[in-house]
Structure 1
Amino acid sequence: MPWDALPLLDGGPQRPRIERQAVTREFGGLTCYEVAARVALERVPAAMELPFGWAASPYRGCQAGCRYCAARRGHRYLGLDAGDDFDSRVVVKTNLADRLRRELASPRWQGEPVALGLTGDCYQPAEETYRLMPQIIRALAEAGNPFTVLTKSPLILRDAPELREAGKLTRARAAVSVGFVDEKIRRGLEPGAAGAQRRLEVCAALNDDGVPCEVLMAPILPLITDSSDHLRATVRRAAEAGAVAVTPVVLRLPPGAREWFMAWLEREHPGLVPRYAALYGKSPTAPPEYRAGIAAQVAVLAETYGIGRSARGWKRRRSPARQLSLV
C-alpha cells in the first residue's frame, strides 16, 4: 500500500490553534508565529538516543525541510500538519533567552548540559530576522552552563565569536549534522539544508576559530547509507574537517516523520519499502543489535582516522586554499 502524507493534514478547515495564541508575521513564503515560551528547558526523550538530557529550542518547525525530522510530530499539537506546515510555518519563542536565564538561576537546576535546536535548526533562515541565538548563548555562558548547538546551517559562523567567548566560561560546543555525504540523497531528503560539503567546511571553520565542533552523523539510513563505503567516506570527511568527535545516530521514524520519509522511499527506492516495514514495523527505531553494529563500525573508523585524539597519526588534508571533497 502506498505511504500517503494526506492523513497528516489534520489541521482541518478551522483556524490552527497556534494562530489563536501567537502574533503571526509573514516573510515571503514563511509564516512565523511569535509566542512567549512558558518553559525553556525540556527533557530529551531517552528514545531519541542522543547524548543530551535537556534541550532548549528557539524555533519549532524548520525551513530545512528534512523529511525524516523526528520533531515533525509536534506541529500536530499546534493544529498544523507535520508535512509542508513544518517546513513553512515556524513557531518563534521570542523570549527564550529571558526564560532560560530564570530557569538556569533556579536552585532546582543542576547545571546539566543543554542541547540547542532539537525542534528546529537554531540557525535556519528565520534566525537572520530574529537573532535570538546570541542572547541564548550569552545566557548559558553567564550561568556557566555547558551546552552544544546543533545545526546544519553556515549561519552559525556569525556567532563564532560569541561561542568562543562562551567557551572561556563553560563547555561550549557545536555539532554539525552530516549523516551522509551523498549529495543526491541529500537533495531529496534535506531540500532546504546546506550540502554536506558546506557543513563540513563550517565544522572546519569553527574548529579553526577555536570553537570545538563535532559531527553528529545523523541520520544513518539503513540499507541506503549504512554500507562500509558510505560510513568510511563520512567519517573520513569529518576527520578532515577536524571534528573533535563523531556521534552516529541511526534513522528514527516516529509518527509524523514516518509518513514523509516513507513517501520519499517509495518514490526513490520502492524495493526497500518492505524491508523498512520489517525494520520499523513495531517501533520508531531500528533493532538494537543493528544500531549497536553501526555504532561499533563508526567507533572503529573514528579511531582509524584519529578523531578525538589531540595528537593523531593521520593528517587532515584540508587547507584554506582547498575545499573539502565529498568522496
Structure 2
Amino acid sequence: MKALRFSASGDLADLRLVDVATPVPSADEVLVQVKAAGLNPSDVKNVLGRFPYTTLPRIPGRDFAGVVVEGPPALLGQEVWGTGRDLGFFADGSHAQYLRVLATGVAPKPGHLSFTQAAGLGVPYTTAWDALERSGVGKGTRLLVIGANGAVGSAALALAKLRGAQVLAAVRRPDQVDVLQAQGVEAIALGQPQELGVQVHAVFKGGAEVIFDTSGFWLPAAVAGLAPFGRIAIIAAPVDGHVQLPALALYRKGGTVVGVNSLLYSCEQCAVMLGAFGRFFDEGLLPLPTGLREVALADGVECYEQVNSGSPDKFILLP
C-alpha cells in the first residue's frame, strides 16, 4: 500500500511517500480502508521531532474515516471514524491507504458526515469535548473561548451551545468578530492582555466561570476575567513552554487551571467520545464542517510543509 512514512525526525524532508506492506489485523483488531485522513499540527510536529517518545520508522496521522474491510463480522463493511494517541506515535497512523486499529477503537461514522468531513473532526472535537467535560461546562455556564475561530475553538463553541452554556468568543480581528456575530455568537476582539478582564466583565457580570484558551498565550491575562472558583482550560503553550502566571490573583479567586491533552486518550477512549457527540451531527444539532481542502495522499508532503509554514487550511488527505 501507499503511505507517508518517516524513518528519522527533525526535518520534513524525512517524510516520504513509500510502498509498504498492508497491515494484517490480529483477532481483536480491524483493518480500515482509509477513505480520508485529517492533517493536524501535531502530525507535523511529530515528524519534526517534538514528541521524543515516537518510535521509528512510523506512518503519521491521527484522524481517519473509512470502511472496515477485515475484522469481526459485525463490523465488516461498516463506515467508521476514529482518532487516538497511539496512531502515528507508537503505532502506524492514518496517512496511508489502510490502517490497523483495535476493533473497539473505531466508532460508527455519522451518516450526515462525508468521509472528508468526519476525517477533519477527530482531534479538534475530542479536544474540545474533553475541555468542556473536565471544566464543568453545562447549562448556563458563562464560557469564554479564546481563539474561537480555530478548529478547536469552533468545536468548543458548537459543543458548548449544545450544552446550553452562555458563550463569549474572543478572536484577533474585527472581521472575525463580525462573522461570529452574524452567526449569533457574542464576540469580542482581543486587544492588549491587560484589557481582557475588563472586556469579559463587561459581558459577563461577575466574570467567566470557564475560560478556554486555545492559543496558549492568554493564560496570565485570563485570570483577571475569571469568576470566583472559575476554571481556565489550556491546550497549548509558547514554544519554550513557560508563561508568567499571576498566582496571587488566581488563588484569591479559588481558580483552577485545567490542562487538556488529547494525546492522553487511546483510540478506545476517543471512540467513546466520538460516539457520545457523533449522533448530534445526524440530529442536526452540530454544524457540518465546511472549507476543507481535499488533497491526494501523494501530495501529502507538500501539505505538511504548508501547515508548518502557518497555513490556516484544514487539509484532508485522500488515499
Q: Report the TM-score when normalising by structure 1.
A: 0.30
Q: Where is the strand percentage greater, Structure 1 or Structure 2?
A: 2
Structure with greater proportional helix content: 1
Higher relative contact order (CA 8 A, sep 6+): 2
TM-score (normalised: structure 2): 0.30
